[in-house]
């Protein structure tokens, strides 16, 4: 049983931000930024590639609803809403979840996108995706 499943079952305590029959949202124990919240389905799915579409939509609907409260209530200037899919992408708990990361300052958290346009042929990539 994964750590999120243990939190959902009540075996591990958490700070619940929101709960309904399908979705649980908790404060992340690491608090990468003030108010860092995790939104997860109560049913276990490993990641974005395996989650049921209906459950995914419920999780994302609640993530949006919570972000709409978290940002103004905590005085944030914005938020990153993100999901890491598989270990190579930074997923450390193999239970689908969405991070709500309130942002107060551009420098508090680094999520960087580097320009690799000279390294890749976009036509080749497009053809592979469409196969």
Question: Of 36, 44, 95, 97, which is the active-site residue?
Answer: 97
- Please confirm, yes or no, whether 95 is among the known catalytic residues: no
Unique residue bearing structure tokens 């929101």: 18
DSSP string, the chain: --HHHHHHHTSS---EEEE-SSEEEEE-TT-SSTT-EEEEESS---STTTS-HHHHHHHHHHHHHHHHHHHHHTT-SEEEEE---SGGGT--SSS--EEEEEES-TTSS-------TTT--HHHHHHHHH-
Q: Look at phi and psi of residue 86 and say left if phi exceeds 0, alpha if psi is from -120 to 50, else beta.
A: left
Active site residues: 97
């Amino acid at each position: 049983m994964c750590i999120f499943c243990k939190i959902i079952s009540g075996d591990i305590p958490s700070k619940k931000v929101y709960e309904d029959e399908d979705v649980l949202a908790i404060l992340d124990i690491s608090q990468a930024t003030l108010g860092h919240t995790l939104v997860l389905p109560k049913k276990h799915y490993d990641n974005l590639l395996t989650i049921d579409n209906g459950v995914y939509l419920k999780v994302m609907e609640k993530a949006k609803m919570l972000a709409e409260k978290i940002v103004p209530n905590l005085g944030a200037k914005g938020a990153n809403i993100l999901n890491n899919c598989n270990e190579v992408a930074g997923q450390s708990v193999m239970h689908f979840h969405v991070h709500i990361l309130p942002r107060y300052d551009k420098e508090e958290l680094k999520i960087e996108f580097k320009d690799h346009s000279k390294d890749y042929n976009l036509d080749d990539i497009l053809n592979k995706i469409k196969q």
